[in-house]
Amino acid sequence: MTSFPTRHGPSYTRFGLIVAALVVALDQLSKWWILETVMQPIPHVVEVTPFFNLVLVWNYGVSFGAFASGAAYMPYVLSGIAAVIAVSLVAWLRQADRRLMALAIGFIIGGAAGNVIDRLRFGAVADFLDFHIDSWHFWAFNVADAGISVGVAFLLLDGLFAGREKS
């Protein structure tokens, strides 16, 4: 029987799960606002600043539209993969012994969960944040995507500075 190593010291699991829940709530609230108010009666471009627009783009794939096959079962396949990853991240979160690591994992879990909710509700993910320089536009993204990206950045920072913290 496999046993997980035990850890002594503070548990950051609850903290990470609260972060995840906040990311999901902010993501779903922002998508509701975009879908039900800003993009009504028909989707359009809202110029907020000279470098930032609100748009509505349905992403049927994963990051940057990869794996967007159009097959009816793909939202379920992608949601299943994301769910397995999220469960693995929760197991990792349970072992987190640093606040920054728990924060990072919480951001990633929350972002993944937010996009899974979209896939199961709509069959695609609603992206609406459009940053650009002149006519060059970065891929549209959403709060969940930002949560995943911020979480990965925090994981990198945690990895860079974790050894210094203990010495």
Name the residues annotated as catalytic.
127, 145
Termini Cα distance of the chain: 34
